[in-house]
A and B are shown apart, each in its own frame.
Chain A
Amino acid sequence: MASVVLSEAEKLYIVHGVQEDLRVDGRGCEDYRCAEVETDVVSNTSGSARVKLGHTDILVGVKAEMGTPKLEKPDEGYLEFFVDCSANATPEFEGRGGEELGTEIANTLYRVFSSESCVDLKSLCINPREHCWVLYVDVLLLECGGNLFDAISIAVKAALFNTRIPKVRVLEDEEGSKEIELSDDPYDCIRLNVDDVPCIVTLSKIGYRHVVDATLQEEACSLASLLISVTSKGALTSMKKVGKGSLDPESIFEMMEMGKRVGKSLHIALQKILDEEESLGTSRQKVGFLG
C-alpha cells in the first residue's frame, strides 16, 4: 500500500485530533471525504464506473461473457474479480510491485461477494450446466490516496448498477442441439439488481478511537483496521482485520456497530446519486477523463 513518512510529532497531532473528533481536514470520525461517482465512462464494457474519493481514484469495468457454469453451482452464473494496481498510482507499484496488493484486494472482493444474497446469480444462468453469464469485474487503481477498499467497493457497486447484459433466447433445434440467439436491439438488455450488493467500510483504529475513510497520513498512524462489508439493509457479509496491531474484542464490537451505521448511510447516498445520474438519461454531459 502506498505510505507516507510522518514525524513523531505529526503522528501525535493526528492521534490527539482523532481523540477530540476533529481530524486534520475538519471531518469527524464518521465523515467521508467528498466523493465523485460517474458511470458509463468506458464504452467497450458492459458497465463501468469511476469513483474519486479525495485523492483516491478507481476505475471499474464489467464485461459480461458467456461461459460454462461451475460444477457445484450448475444453475448460476458467477463473478470474477481482477485488480490492477497501475504504476500511475504510486511509484511502489512499478513493475510487479502492485501484484501483492492487487491479489489481496481481489481476494477480499471474492469474500465480500461470497454470500449468496448479494447478487442474484440465478438470473445470470442461460442454460443450466451449459451456458451462463460470467461477469468479469476489472478494477484499475489510478491514484492511491488512502481508503482503497471503500472506494473500490463503491465503484464495483456503481459499475454493476450500470451493467447491461444482452437478452438471449435459447432455441432448440429438431436434433436437440441448442442455439443461443442474441436479440437484435442493442438496448434490449437485463439489468442487475444491486440492492443487496455490499459496500466495504474500513474502520482504522487510531489511538483509542476509530475513524472511517482514513487518508494516507491517518493510515500511517493506525496500527490496526477492520474491514467490514455491509449491505444496504445493514447486514454484514464479511469481516477482515488488517494491520500488525491488535484489536480488543470490545472495540471490535463498537467498530462493527459504527460500520453498520456508516454503511447504511453510504448505501443511501450512493443509491441517490446513481438514481440521479440515471434520471438525467442521455442529456447527461459525460465528463470522463478529459473534463
Chain B
Amino acid sequence: MAAISMRLPVPRKAVGLSAPRGGEKHLVAPGDTITTDTGYMRGHGTYVEEEKLIASVAGAVERVNKLVCVRALKTRYNGEVGDIVVGRITEVQQKRWKVETNSRLDSVLLLSSMNLPGGELRRRSAEDELAMRDYLQEGDLISAEVQSVFSDGAVSLHTRSLKYGKLGQGVLVQVSPSLVKRQKTHFHDLPCGASVILGNNGFIWIYPTPEQKDEEAGGFTTNLEPVPLSDREVISRLRNCIVALVTQNLMLFDTSILYCYEASLPHQIKDILKPEVMEEIVLETRQRLLDLEG
C-alpha cells in the first residue's frame, strides 16, 4: 500500500536553549562587531575595520589569551593530524589517489601510504603503480587517518593499519563536520547490531557488523553477500536517527546516536523522518543526555 503524506510547511521555530552547557557562547554573524578593544590579535574568521574587530563568518567566538577567532558552525572540513576520515576516491593518478573528504581541496592518498593486501611491507614497484585501479577505483569509499597537512591546507591520508581501508556494503550519511564530536575512537560497534564510523570530516558510515574479527585482508576483499533484513532495518533506523539529530543540530557521538535509536524504537523506520516525530525523538535524546551529565 502506498503511503503518501503531504503537509503544509511550518515556519522554523528557534531551538530553545534548554540548558546552556559550559556558560553562554558568544555567537556572531558576519558583520557583527566582536570587540572594539584594539589589544587583541585577530585570528581566523575575523577582520579589522575602523579599529573594530568584526566577524567574517557565522559562529562562536573563541578567545585564547590575546587571540580572538571565530569558529564557524557550518564549514568545510579542516584536516588535523590524527583525525579519522571517510572519503570517496575521485581520481586515480600516478602513485596516488585523490580523495574527496568535504574539504576545500581534495585529499591525497599516496600509494606508499596504502596497505598492500596481506599486510606485506615492501617497496612499491612499477607493477603496483599499474595495478592501482585494482585496489581502489573512482567512487570507492575508504576510511583513513590524516597523516599530515600540506601548507595549502590539503590533507594527506594513510591507511597503514588493518582497521582502515576500503569500505564494503553500507550506508553513507553526509553531515556538517562541526557536528561530529571529537572522541578517543571513531569506530563504534553499537549494541543494536550495526557498526558506525564517525568520520571527522562529516561522512558517517553505517555498516553491518562483520562476524569474524580476524580480518587479515585489511579491507580489500569486499563482502558481496546480501545483508540480512534484520541488519538492514537496524542500519536504516540508525541512518534516519542520525539525519534527525543533524536536523536538530545535536552533536553526534556514540551515546547520542544510541539514545536516539532507543527513543525511535516505538516508531516505524520511515516515520522517523516526519518533522514532528523527529522533534519528539531528539527531545527525548537531549533529555537523557542531560540526565547522564548530571
Residues of A within 8 A of B (CB): 5-10, 12-13, 16-17, 19-20, 22-28, 30-38, 52, 212, 261-262, 265-266, 269-270, 272-273, 276-277, 284-285, 287, 291
Q: Nearest 8 A-B pairs (CB), nearest first?
A: A26-B269, A291-B11, A30-B2, A26-B270, A13-B169, A26-B236, A287-B9, A273-B6
- With contact pairs A26-B240, A287-B10 given, residues A32 and B172 touching in the complex (Cβ less than 8 Å): no
**Residues on B with beta carbons closer than 8 Å to the beta carbon of A273:** 6-8
| Total contacting residues, chain B, CB less than 8 A | 42
- Give the residue among B6, B11, B139, B268 with the most A Cβ atoms within 10 A: B6
- In the complex formed, the residue of B with least CB distance to A284 is B8
**Residues on A with beta carbons closer than 8 Å to the beta carbon of B10:** 287, 291
B4, B222, B269: the one within 8 Å of A265 (CB): B4
- With contact pairs A5-B139, A10-B169 given, residues A269 and B232 touching in the complex (Cβ less than 8 Å): no
**In the assembled complex, B239 has its CB within 8 A of some CB on chain A:** yes
- In the complex formed, the residue of A with least CB distance to B1 is A30
Cβ–Cβ contact A37 & B8, under 8 A: yes
**Residues on A with beta carbons closer than 8 Å to the beta carbon of B14:** none
A288 CB, nearest partner CB in chain B, Å: 9
B222 CB, nearest partner CB in chain A, Å: 5
The stretch from B76-84, B152-160, B177-185, B223-231 touching chain A is B223-231
Residues of B within 8 A of A (CB): 1-12, 88, 90, 138-141, 167-172, 222, 224, 226-227, 229, 232-233, 236-237, 239-240, 268-270, 272-275
CA distance A287 to B13 in the complex (A): 12
- In the complex formed, the residue of A with least CB distance to B228 is A20
**Residues on B with beta carbons closer than 8 Å to the beta carbon of A19:** 226
**Residues on B with beta carbons closer than 8 Å to the beta carbon of A12:** 169, 224
B212 CB, nearest partner CB in chain A, Å: 18
Cβ–Cβ contact A16 & B226, under 8 A: yes
- Give the residue among A22, A261, A262 with the most B Cβ atoms within 10 A: A22
Cβ–Cβ contact B169 & A266, under 8 A: no
Cβ–Cβ contact A38 & B9, under 8 A: yes
- With contact pairs A13-B171, A16-B227, A25-B239 given, residues A32 and B4 touching in the complex (Cβ less than 8 Å): yes
- With contact pairs A13-B169, A26-B268 given, residues A261 and B2 touching in the complex (Cβ less than 8 Å): yes
> Can you name 26 A-B residue pairings with CB atoms under 8 Å?
A5-B88, A5-B138, A6-B139, A7-B139, A7-B141, A8-B139, A9-B167, A9-B222, A10-B171, A22-B232, A23-B236, A25-B236, A25-B273, A28-B270, A30-B3, A32-B4, A35-B4, A35-B5, A35-B6, A37-B7, A52-B9, A262-B4, A269-B4, A272-B6, A277-B8, A291-B9
**Residues on A with beta carbons closer than 8 Å to the beta carbon of B270:** 25-28, 31
CA distance A277 to B8 in the complex (A): 7
